[in-house]
Structure 1
């Protein structure tokens, strides 16, 4: 009986400690409130931020605002004395594009185009163009038979040869062969020694900018192959009157044409690669007895920017996550100011480049300012302000949680326990299914932590009609719902920052 009484007293004491922690966490969770979230999101997703596209003025304004909030809260800079971690972004521009054939000046983006990432500087005077049909070489068919194209300009057309019944010769069916792809045709031209490929498409070219898209690493794609210029009918007519009609008939009938044209062609292509910059913004709240270990709370602050005069505001994606990171920082700072600071340090990080391909988080995890071996978890928040119209449960109290089953066997039970004790949301884990076609687990910044072995948990409300559209605006945010979800992140971070041990890393990354 005495032993039983002692066990009960110890259990009661343990319950008392847990209850005390519960009350403390609840007290400071009140900083995470709808009105404060709305105030910050109204700034982040304002017209003044111009959609926050990576490496633009709008992104820089957003970064400056986030940094000012971190400074106001008294967080420590997370990058060797700086709140911002700069990473390179590249953009190609076509500084010269001139094509003149037999006295006809052709217009870039109207008559011809070229992918800027694949271009090599070229300045040439051409006296001969070789028409090589479809540009296909196969064991039973060869457009290059009896043609000498080494060092010459080759003109090839879309499509491939056909049988009399309309099926394709190389497959015997109505399905294209692999030889019909542009990649295969260009590779074949390279093997035959072509210096330049003109690729004819019947459909009009889409308007092409003199600037290429941004990318985060210098590319050498097709660097060893010939320049490939996509051309329209006016280019063919400049080569020889009636040539576009002949090639259109060739494409329709499936019967190839091969011939040589004597021309007077001047070509100049020149590319300039600009190195731009973007930043991640990092603020650190130091812990107490476990200050050398970390909890990361992340969200991406970039969005799609502007298309002409149309702003893509990105209030939910991911202004909501960015706002939550800021408000959680405020809650934890207040707790520390009152003597209830976290045992582990907390890194509040907002990244850019997510919409381009998780660039900012990739750069951070490849160039970490804190040891990733000492990071117990990354709690990533990407879209928590709206409702998924496809959600089957109670849409007033749900959130998708993703990745808690991937790297640590402890994370799912902790997540469930925290939710049951504090918020009582419906935790939907359908996106954890490896067969899920949306592959959401791989599509936000937590994944770059996961690939380095850090356990992660991703909070997400699902997509909606305004996803990646100009209509993703502040007025459509459900701030009560957003508050509940942000509080779940707060309580989870509180638990992670104060528990005795870091999470086990006992499940291999798949």
Structure 2
């Protein structure tokens, strides 16, 4: 029995050793410029219609990615499904109306209202409170006595100089601050009179922007932006004097008796989008996970003819994920699969505000505490024309490797030094990066939950977010080399003995 146990232990150790020292280069070399190009001309082709979230083009792209994951033999990552759906909402205008003392005013010609910020509501008020300079401090509150009433504010051409904390800033009133002050003081609605109200002739049924969260923690009073004509219908001759008084900070709150009807109605449409999740099971550490991510959505179409192809942003990351999945699948088929499980996830909604990754991080399929790293790829197919130092034909921006885990950079640099020999540019790790790149792609939703991340990026260029971001402009050789760096880094992180340390606190810049 003892001899049998010894033989089994030696065999296990030999297998583990063989797995650990397996050469990853044959599998990395399957990530080729030609294969990347083949995929990208499909993902960023006209049939995908720019892949805008919650459109037919996005659904076509998701179906293509799913088909590739299936062909590689990956498991469906969402409880038997390859797609992880999430809801998206959009508002459609039903009606917006204002009447003052029986006189109707016209949407767009006399007033506007934010479709997204407003809620279905009708107010019949007989008193309107002009709140002067909108000052709130420990001894003064211009919003005092507005509970249950309509509040009127005149947007001044310049700042006022009254004491205390003003609900606004130098270049004009801040709508969010106004709504917050009105809500805290119980106002029924807010009217903001604009001196140079912009009139539009469009009075047709319109839709607002899509959004992810269908519920709000608090409901602010509806805020209408109104013309001077509406304000004068309420305030009469006092309007001009009040506007002048604002310039010196001497405007005083005052109530006006006027029968005002404010009506806003909208319908909420529920749309849907999805992340595509492929799963490659690990061996002895299969309950720990390496994530490799990219966003496959882009900006869609404008009209019938203008397509935002999004070849670099982020078709390049999407097809790199496909090639990385193929490389790891071939390694596993050869008996050299990863110790940890690898999750290949392409997300949608990034261009809308990191929606897909936000939904995943708030509803994870795999424990985040067991997710050792997220390697996120967003734009690795082009060259940054602003980069003037070093070899711009052989670099990649590495973002976030100095955050959350002290293990990240040593592994990244060791893999690069051994295999790819790219210039690793840390420009966007600067604490005061004016572009805030660290916060602008899907890795951040892993980082905010404490998961170590690395973000691979080539920088922006003249075709960024333009219809001219097309597959013919991609540097496929450089893209393949960058994707191979991600592969080698993932290989090491999937096979090392320990999960990455989480020894650096997440900091907000």
Q: Which of 161, 171, 182 matches 1:168?
A: 161
Paired residue secondary structure (2:451): coil
Q: Alignment length, in residue pairs? A: 486
Computed over aligned residues only, the root mean square deviation of the Cα atoms, in angstroms, reads 3.6
Q: How many angstroms does 1:509 deviate by?
A: 3.2
Go from structure 1 to structure 2 and tell me whether the alpha carbon gap of 1:42 and 1:178 turns closer, same or farther (over 3 Å shift).
closer
Go from structure 1 to structure 2 and tell me whether the alpha carbon gap of 1:161 and 1:388 turns closer, same or farther (over 3 Å shift).
closer
Paired residue secondary structure (2:454): strand
Question: For residues 78 and 70 of structure 1, what CA distance do their matches in structure 2 show?
Answer: 10
Q: Is the counterpart of residue 485 in structure 1 residue 482 in structure 2?
A: yes
Go from structure 1 to structure 2 and tell me whether the alpha carbon gap of 1:407 and 1:144 turns closer, same or farther (over 3 Å shift).
closer
Question: For residues 209 and 481 of structure 2, what CA distance do their matches in structure 1 show?
Answer: 38
Equivalent in the alignment of 1:204: 197
Q: How many angstroms does 1:170 deviate by?
A: 3.5
Equivalent in the alignment of 1:5: none
Q: How many angstroms does 1:241 deviate by?
A: 7.8
Equivalent in the alignment of 1:286: 281
Q: Is the 8 A contact 1:134 1:159 kept in 2?
A: no
Equivalent in the alignment of 2:112: 113
Q: Is the 8 A contact 2:132 2:252 kept in 1?
A: yes
Go from structure 1 to structure 2 and tell me whether the alpha carbon gap of 1:427 and 1:188 turns closer, same or farther (over 3 Å shift).
closer
**What CA deviation, in whole Å up to 9, does each residue of 1:227-274 have, x standing for no partner?**
221112343465588887666656667664776666554432123333
Question: For residues 218 and 283 of structure 2, what CA distance do their matches in structure 1 show?
Answer: 53
Equivalent in the alignment of 2:449: 452
Equivalent in the alignment of 2:28: 29
Q: Is the 8 A contact 1:77 1:283 kept in 2?
A: yes
- Where does 1:310-389 land on structure 2 (aligned, <5 Å)? 310-389=306-385
- Where does 1:37-436 land on structure 2 (aligned, <5 Å)? 37-102=36-101, 104-136=103-135, 151-159=148-156, 168-170=161-163, 176=169, 180-189=173-182, 194-205=187-198, 210-220=206-216, 223=219, 225-236=220-231, 256=251, 263=258, 265-309=260-304, 310-391=306-387, 392-436=389-433
Q: Is the 8 A contact 1:113 1:229 kept in 2?
A: yes
Q: How many angstroms does 1:471 deviate by?
A: 2.4
Go from structure 1 to structure 2 and tell me whether the alpha carbon gap of 1:185 and 1:322 turns closer, same or farther (over 3 Å shift).
closer
Paired residue secondary structure (2:209): strand
Go from structure 1 to structure 2 and tell me whether the alpha carbon gap of 1:282 and 1:192 turns closer, same or farther (over 3 Å shift).
closer
Q: Is the 8 A contact 1:135 1:189 kept in 2?
A: no
Go from structure 1 to structure 2 and tell me whether the alpha carbon gap of 1:233 and 1:400 turns closer, same or farther (over 3 Å shift).
same
Q: How many angstroms does 1:211 deviate by?
A: 2.7
Equivalent in the alignment of 2:467: 470
**What CA deviation, in whole Å up to 9, does each residue of 1:291-334 have, x standing for no partner?**
33322111111122234454322211111101100111122222
Question: For residues 364 and 281 of structure 1, what CA distance do their matches in structure 2 show?
Answer: 11
Q: Is the counterpart of residue 438 in structure 1 residue 431 in structure 2?
A: no
Q: How many angstroms does 1:426 deviate by?
A: 0.5
More deviation, 363-372/32-41: 363-372
Q: Is the 8 A contact 2:132 2:246 kept in 1?
A: no
Go from structure 1 to structure 2 and tell me whether the alpha carbon gap of 1:144 and 1:273 turns closer, same or farther (over 3 Å shift).
closer
Q: How many angstroms does 1:102 deviate by?
A: 4.9
Query: TM-score by structure 1 length?
Result: 0.83
Q: Is the 8 A contact 2:133 2:162 kept in 1?
A: no
Question: For residues 444 and 132 of structure 1, what CA distance do their matches in structure 2 show?
Answer: 42
